[in-house]
Amino acid sequence: MPKYYSLKEKISAREKQIGIWRSLTGHTFIPEKKQYVTLCNFQPPDCEGTEIVQLRNMGVITSDSQFFGIDYNEEIILQNKKWHPDANWICAYWEDGIRSIENFDPSLIYLDMTSFASTERVLYCINSTMHRCKKGTVLLVNLMLNDPRSSKFFDGSYIVSALPKTVPSFELEKWRQKVESFTYNATGYTEMKTFVFFKERK
């Protein structure tokens, strides 16, 4: 099986995500002092589908210093530092990683999780992320709708319906009420769903 980041379906899904971000924010590229923060994987520089390379090619980031990649796997972080030394690579779990970023002010966050769409863990990650975001932030959350090792499927509406039980109303009311979403299948085995959250107010 080819590397996940090189699959054309994954590349197309990211193009769609960027298009939604541009439509919501009115930006064509991330403003100079803002950031792109992602739960990263390996980012080989010779692959056009690699996240950081695709963002450069699409003009989303104008400097590698805007890119913040977080992963608890030290091998991934050390290798990415060699490939892209001007970007920011953080070896930590997601919540600790975003807390460690000075002047945290992303325009776009991509939380691409290898988690099922009905887990409490996902709600916790979304909640901890939302509280740190400023007005104008787009938060993309990517989740699995099925278990590729079995025939089990998960409720794709659970995350949105359960969010008010996890995120306090004073925070949730700052975010756009309509949560856009779309599905795609990059491997032929796993159905993925991307949820789009947009912080409209302070």
The answer to whether the beta carbons of residues 59 and 28 sit under 8 Å apart is yes
Q: Is the pLDDT of residue 79 over 50?
A: yes
Share of the chain above pLDDT 90, in %: 81
Contacts of 164 (CB under 8 A, 6+ apart): 172
The angle at the Cα of 30, spanning 63 to 7, to the nearest 5 degrees, equals: 80
C-alpha–C-alpha distance, residues 91 and 89, integer Å? 7
Percentage of the chain modeled with pLDDT above 70: 97
| pLDDT, tens digit (0-9, with 9 covering 90-100), for 131-182 | 999 999 999 999 999 988 888 888 989 999 999 999 999 999 999 999 999 9
Reported as a pLDDT band with limits 50, 70 and 90, residue 3 is: low
What is this structure's pTM?
A: 0.95
What residue has token string 């403003």? 31
Half-sphere exposure of 101 (CA within 13 A, CB side): 29
- What residue ranges define each of the domains in the chain, with the CATH number in brackets? 4-23+40-198 (3.40.50.150)
Q: What is the DSSP string of 1-66?
A: ---GGG-HHHHHHHHHHHHHHHHHH--SS--TT-EEEEE-----TT-TTSHHHHHHHTTS-SSGGG
CA distance 18 to 114: 20
Q: CA–CA separation, 80 vs 125, rounded Å?
A: 24
Per-residue pLDDT of 9-42, as tens digits, reads: 889 999 999 999 999 999 999 999 999 999 999 9
Residue range 34-49, pLDDT digits in tens: 999 999 999 999 988 8
